[in-house]
């Protein structure tokens, strides 16, 4: 006997993510889900972002890794409300991880929550966490084909970051190819080229983008 279902497999995750979103919005928190491959500079981006914005707003950070608290230790130097989530064998964060981590954060007065996902361009993309925006980060040292090879990560992104622009001159990276592949997958998406390490003009554009999005939601 056949039983017709036709239902999203990740329905429970999506429902939990919806609850996270509702709770965060009620507290007036704007939430970013940051995706990118291992080593593309996500933690450095979070450090610099917190450093650049902390005089203007109160920020909390949730950081996901398979193991170790090293990223949280790094970020905590800039942001006292940093919670590390260890996923064990899990290659991405799910809504329940964020839900648990949210319980460890005092959201009174918090304006911005940055969730640094596990380094991975495949698995995290389909799992809604309750974020307002998804940010996908690439870098000039990992090869120009990443957007073409991981199209969902581009399709799901509200903005695409290209990090390590300070190293562009030392590596073979056809930046025009990168731009056209991203635009092909998602014509309207903005690409911000930056160096999180140097805190360059691109980083000002990035923090400006966050503020624009936060203002637009209010």
Partner 1 sequence: MHEVSIATALVEQVRRHIPAGRKLIGIKIEAGPFQSIDPEAMDMAWVSVIDATELEGAKLFLTTLPYQMTCPKCARKWESADAFEKCTCGSQEAVPSGSSELRLVSMEVEDEANVEAGRY
Nearest-approach distance from CB 180 to partner 1, in angstroms: 9
Q: Are 187 and 181 in contact (CB under 8 A)?
A: no
Nearest-approach distance from CB 182 to partner 1, in angstroms: 12
How is the beta sheet containing 82-86 ordered, strand by strand? 82-86, 59-65, 112-116, 30-36, 133-139, 159-163, 190-193
Q: Is 159 in the site for partner 1 (CB under 8 A)?
A: no
Q: Is 9 in the site for partner 1 (CB under 8 A)?
A: yes
Which is nearer to partner 1, 25 or 96 (by Cβ)? 96
Nearest-approach distance from CB 196 to partner 1, in angstroms: 26
For residues 154 and 164, what is the distance between their CA atoms, to the nearest angstrom? Answer: 18
Q: Is 156 in the site for partner 1 (CB under 8 A)?
A: yes
Q: Is 158 in the site for partner 1 (CB under 8 A)?
A: no
Nearest-approach distance from CB 181 to partner 1, in angstroms: 8
> Candidates 21-29, 71-79, 83-91, 163-171 — which segment interacts with partner 1 by CB under 8 A?
83-91
Q: Is 10 in the site for partner 1 (CB under 8 A)?
A: yes
For residue 118, CA distances in Å to 62, 66, 115, 128, 143 come to: 11, 7, 10, 14, 20
Q: How far apart are the first and last CA of the chain?
A: 51
Q: Is 15 in the site for partner 1 (CB under 8 A)?
A: no
> DSSP secondary structure string, 121-167?
SSTTTT---S-SEEEEEEETTS-TTHHHH-HHHHHT-SEEEEE-GGG
Q: Is 92 in the site for partner 1 (CB under 8 A)?
A: yes
Binding stretches for partner 1 (CB under 8 A):
1-13, 89-92, 94, 120, 122-123, 125-127, 148, 150-152, 155-156, 181, 184-185, 187
């Amino acid at each position: 006997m056949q039983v017709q279902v036709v239902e999203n497999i990740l329905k429970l995750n999506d429902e939990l993510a919806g609850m996270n979103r509702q709770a965060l919005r009620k507290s007036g928190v704007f939430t970013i889900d940051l995706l990118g491959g291992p080593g593309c500079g996500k933690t450095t981006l979070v450090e610099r972002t917190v450093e650049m914005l902390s005089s203007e707003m109160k920020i909390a950070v949730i950081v996901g890794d398979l193991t170790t608290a090293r990223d949280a230790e790094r970020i905590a130097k800039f942001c006292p409300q940093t919670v590390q989530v260890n996923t064990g064998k899990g290659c991405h964060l799910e809504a329940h991880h964020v839900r648990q981590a949210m319980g460890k954060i005092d959201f009174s007065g918090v304006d911005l929550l940055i969730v640094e996902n596990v380094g991975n361009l495949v698995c995290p993309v389909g799992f809604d966490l309750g974020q307002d925006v998804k940010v996908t980060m690439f870098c000039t040292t990992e090869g120009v084909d990443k957007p073409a090879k991981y199209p969902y990560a581009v399709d799901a992104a509200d903005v695409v970051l290209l990090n390590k622009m300070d190293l562009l001159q030392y590596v073979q990276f056809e930046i025009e190819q990168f731009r056209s592949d991203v635009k092909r997958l998602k014509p309207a998406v903005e690409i911000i080229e930056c160096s999180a390490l140097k805190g360059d003009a691109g980083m000002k554009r990035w923090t400006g983008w966050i503020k624009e999005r936060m203002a637009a939601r209010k």
